[in-house]
Structure 1
Amino acid sequence: MARPHAVVVPYPGAGNINPALQLAKLLHHHGVYITFVNTEHNHRVIPHGLSEHTTRTRARRHTEGAGAVRGRDGFRFEAIPHGLSEADRGKQDYGQSLSTTTRCAAPLRDLITRLNGTPGVPPVTCVMPTGLMSFPLGVARDLGIPTMVFWMRDLRERGFVPLKDESFLTNGYLTRRSSTGSPALGDISSFVRTTDPDDSEPSNCTKAGALILNTFEELDADVLAALRSEYTHVYTVGPLGSLLRHGTAADGDSIDSTGLSLWKQDAECLAWLDTQEPRSVVYINFGSHTVMTPEQLAEFAWGLAASGHHFLWSIRDDVIRSGGLPPAFMAETAARCRVTAWCPQEKVLRHPAVGCFLTPNGWNSTSESMAAGVPMVCWPGFADQVHQLQVRLRGVGVGVRLDAEVRREQVTMHVREAMGSEEIKASAARWKAEALAAICPVGSSYENLLSMVRTLCSSSPNPDA
C-alpha cells in the first residue's frame, strides 16, 4: 500500500495555522506524507519558522521543514495566492474567507495536480482544510479525493442555522437559549448568522468525509453525541499541543508543539518567568485579532497594577490604533512586570510561574490554558470566543468573566479571584488531569488519532493493484 498523502489547507490566520500544523506533525509522525499549504502572504511573513531550502516561483514556494519536522522526509510546505488586493493583504480577519473561496480554488487544483505528477511524492489521498476554508472540499470532490475538515463546532444538528429569514437577526431569536442550556446563538460566532442554507460553514462541513476536533471526549460529550448523529466519522484529537508532546513521546520520539508565528516571538520572556515564584504571575494576551481603545487599555493596565501581582503582558503593536501603555503605569509596575510584543504562548502557559491567564477566550487559548491547568480571566470579543466562554466557565468552572465594558476595579477583583480561589484552581487542575488522560496511550484522543491514521491509510491506493 502506498503512503497516504494529506494536503492540509488552513485558513490564513494564526488561530487556524498553528493547530493545523500541530495536527499535520502528528499525522506525519504516524507515517502520513504531508503537504502544508499556506497563502503566499503568510509564507513570506513566517520565514523564521521555516527552513529556507526553497524552490521559488511567482505562484508558489516549496519549503522543506519547520520546527520539529525540519529535514524530515515527507513533510513539505507549499503556497498558493492569497487572493487579496495590495490594500487588503495585511488583514488577518475572517473576511479573507470570501477571497479565498472565490480566488484560491484553481491554484489549489493546480497544486494537487502538480503534486500527483512529482516523482517521489505519493498521490494525494486526502484534502484536509480547516473551517472557513470550504473551497478545498469542492476541489477535492472534482478530483475524486476524500476529505476531512478540521473544525470546532457544528450547529446544524440543533436547528440553529441557517436562520429562516433576516427577521431572525432582530426578533430576539439570537438571545434565546435551548431547553438543554445551550448558549444563545447571539453568544456564538457571528459567522454562522446566515439565512442561506448553502452559505454557512456548518453546511459546508457536512460535505466532508470526516470531522476533526481539537477537543477531547470527556470535555464535550454532549456536543459530540449530537455531531455523531450526522457525521459517520468524528475524530477528537485534542488538546493537540499536549498530544504532540506526550502522545508522541509514548512512541519514543516526542515532537515539539511550537507552531508558525506571524509575529516575531520573545523567547526571553521565559527566562524572566524562571526568576518568578510558582503560580505568582498573571499572563495577559488578547490574541491575534482583538483591538481596543486607549481607554480600555488603560483600564486593564491600572486594574492589573492594583491587583498587586507580577504579570507578563503580550501586547501586539497593532492592539490599539495609536498610543500605548500609560507612562505612569510603566514606572509604577517596572519591578514586577514584563511587556512584550509576542511570546510562545503554549510554553508560557506551561511555565510553573504562571498562575492565571487573562484572555479573550479564543479556542486555541482556551484549550492550551485548560491543558496547562491555568485558571482564566476572560474578556471575550468575537467569533468562537463568547461561545467558548459560555461553555467552559459555566460547565467546568475554570475561570471568571469580565464585563464587555472594561472597569479597572473589576479587572483587579477578578484577577485576584482567579489567582486565589482554591475552587477555581482545583477545577483547573482536574481538567488538566482529564486532558492528560485523553492524550496518553489508550486515552480517547490518542486512540482517535490512531483510528484517523488507519482511515487515511485505507484510502491510499495499492501500487500493485
Structure 2
Amino acid sequence: FNHRRFLKSLGPDFLDGLPDFRFETIPDGLPESDKDATQDPTLLCESFRNFLIFFKQSSCRITFQQILAPFLELLVKLNETASSVPPVTCIVSDGFLSMFTITAAEELGIPVTLFYTVAASSFMGFKQYRTLMEKDLSHSKLFEKRVFGQGHDDVLFNFCMEATDKVDKASAVVFLTFDALEKDGMDALSSMLIPSLYTIGPIQLLLNQIPEDSLSPIGYSLWKEETECLQWLNSKAPNSVVYVNFGSVAVMRPQHLVEFGWGLANSKFHFFWVIRPDLVIGESAYLPPEFVAETKERGLIASWCPQEEVLNHPSVGGFLTHSGWNSTMESLTAEVPMLCWPFYADQQTNCYYTCNEWSSGMQIDNDVKRDGVEMLVRELMEGEKGKKMKKKAKEWKKLAETATDPHGSSSINLDNLVDQVLLRKD
C-alpha cells in the first residue's frame, strides 16, 4: 500500500539515478483498498496482531505466509551469492513490526535494530502497561487520559503494547527524540532494557547538516504536496496564520469538520488548512457555502503541503494538530506553539506532554465545539498563554539545534549507532 502511495505522490521515476538504492515490497495481508484512501491503521495492526497470535499457537499458516515468509524470502534472495548486492548483515526495522522482523533476524542469525518513531514517553507507557494491569491500576482514568486515551481492549493500543514485548532481543533500540526533551524517560528506559538505546532526533535537523547531494530531492510524503501555499503565506504578516493539519492517517466526523471550520472563521485570524480527500469518515469533506464566503479573504485550503517549510515560514504563528509525533517534533523545532486534538495510539501521550511537561500547547476538548476552538485560537495567537508557549517552544528549538549540531548528542548517537551496531563486525 505505502509503496503505491509513494509512486502516486512522488512519481514512478523518483528513484532514478540512485542505483545503490533498492525498493522492495512485501504483502501486508490486507485486501486492495481505494488508491485515494488512507490505509485503516486498525485493520493493519489487527493483521499483524493476528500473525503474532497465530504464529505463537502454530494454528494458522495463512497470515504467516502473508507476512513473515515473504520477508524471509527477500532476505534469502539478497544473501544469495549470485545476487548483485552485498549480503544483509543487519536489519533496521520499524519497532512496531518487531513481532516478525526479530523472528526473521533470529532465523538468519543477524542483528536487528528497532527504530521507534514514537516518543520515549509513549514507548514507556506501552512497555509498563502490563505491570499496571497486574497491580490493578490499568483502569485509572488519569492513566488512560494521560497515556493512551482508549481502553485496554482497543486494537491499536494492544498492538502498540505487544510491539514492545520482544524489544530485549534487539541489538539496539533507536528513538526519534533528543536527550534534553525526554531525559527522564530515556534514563528510565536505560535502566529497564537490555539493548543499547540511541536518540537521533529531530531527524530533519540532522538531515539539514548534510551537504547537498543526490539524495536531497527525494521526498517521503504519502500525499502529493501542493507548494502554492508558500506563495500565499509570503503575503501574510509574521505570526499571523494558524496552520491546521490532522496528519496523513487520522479521520474525523463531518460535524467535527464543521465545528473546526466555524471556530477558525469566528476567530478572525488567517488560516491555512490541509484537508485530505479522505479526512472525513465515509464521505467527502464538505464545508458549508456560508463558511467559504466568510473566509475567502482569510483562509486557504489545500489537500497536502510541505509541512516542514510551512511550519518554518515566518507568517505561521500557531499549529492546530492531531499530536502525531512527527508533527509535534516539527512544531517544537520550528518554535511554533500548538493546539492539540489527539485521536489514538500515542497521540494522547504526545498531547499530554506537549501541554503539561513541555508547556508548548493547549488541548481542545474531544467533543469539539466552535466556541472552544475560537477561544483557544485567540489565546494561541494573541493571548498571554500563547506568548508563554511561543517562548517555551523557542527554548526547545534551541535545544534541538544543539542536539543535532556536529558535536551534539543526537549527532554523536547516530555515529555510534552506525559504528557500534550497523557496521559492527563480530
Distance 2:331 2:69 in 1: 39
Aligned partners of 1:131, 1:191: CA distance in 2, in Å? 17
Could you tell me which runs of 5 or more consecutive residues in structure 2 were left unpaired when the two chains were aligned.
52-62
Rate the CA distance shift 1:98–1:385 in 2: closer, same or farther, 3 A: same
Question: Which of 175, 183, 187 matches 2:141?
Answer: 175
| Counterparts of residues 44-63 of structure 1 (less than 5 Å) | 44-48=4-8, 52=12
Residue 111 of structure 1 corresponds to 74
Q: 1:299 to 1:257 in 2, by over 3 A?
A: farther
Contact 2:148–2:346, Cα closer than 8 Å, also in 1: no
1:76 matched to 2:12? The reply is no
Q: Distance in 1 between matches of 2:214 and 2:312?
A: 16
Q: Deviations over 1:207-241 (max 9, x none)?
A: 21111111000000011011111133111000111
**Paired residue type of 2:110:** I
Q: Give the match for residue 310 of structure 1.
A: 270
Shift of 1:158: 7.0
Match of 1:366 among 328, 332, 335: 328
What is the root-mean-square deviation in Å for CA atoms of aligned residues? 2.9
Partner of 2:57: none
In 2, Cα distance between equivalents of 1:378 and 1:136: 33
Please name the residue that 2:240 is paired with.
280
Q: Secondary structure of 2:388's match?
A: helix
Partner amino acid, structure 1, of 2:249: H
Alignment of 1:212-361 (within 5 A): 212-229=174-191, 230-245=193-208, 247-249=209-211, 256=216, 259-320=219-280, 321-322=282-283, 324-361=286-323
SS of equivalent residue, structure 1 residue 300: helix
Alpha-carbon distance, 1:261 to partner: 2.4
Separation in structure 2 between the aligned mates of residue 185 and residue 286 of structure 1, nearest angstrom: 18
Shift of 1:78: 1.1
Equivalent pair of 2:148/2:348 in contact (CA under 8 Å) = no
> Taking structure 1 as reference, are residues 259 and 187 closer, same or farther at Cα in structure 2, changes over 3 Å only?
farther
| Matched-pair contact (CA < 8 Å) for 1:244–1:254 | no
CA deviation digits over 1:144-173, x for unaligned, max 9?
1100111134337974226647x96xx863
Give a deviation string over 1:228-274, Cα, whole Å, max 9, x none. 111331110001111111x324xx75964864222222111112112
Whole-angstrom CA distance in 1 between matches of 2:342 and 2:313: 24
SS where residue 79 of structure 1 aligns?
coil
User: What is the TM-score of this pair, normalised by structure 1?
Assistant: 0.78
Q: Which residue of 2 aligns with 1:144?
A: 109
Q: Give the Cα separation in 2 of the matches to 1:215 and 1:122.
A: 31
Between 1:355-364 and 1:272-281, the stretch displaced more is 272-281
Structure 1 residues 257 and 160, CA, compared in 2 at 3 Å: closer, same or farther? Answer: farther
2:273 is paired with a residue of what secondary structure?
Answer: strand
Greater displacement, 113-122 / 150-159: 150-159
Identify which of 344, 348, 352 aligns with 1:390: 352
Do the aligned residues in 1 keep the contact of 2:45 with 2:156 (CA within 8 Å)?
no
| Residues 265-309 of structure 1: per-residue CA shift (max 9 Å, x gap) | 211111211222111111001112322222211111111011111
Residue type of the alignment partner of 1:161: R
Three-state SS of the structure 1 residue aligned to 2:165 is helix
Gaps of at least 5 residues in structure 1 are: 1-40, 54-64
Report the secondary structure of 1:95's partner residue. helix
TM-score where L is the length of structure 2: 0.84
- Aligned partners of 1:281 and 1:311 also within 8 Å: yes
Structure 1 match to 2:380:
418
Give the structure 2 partner of residue 133 of structure 1: 97
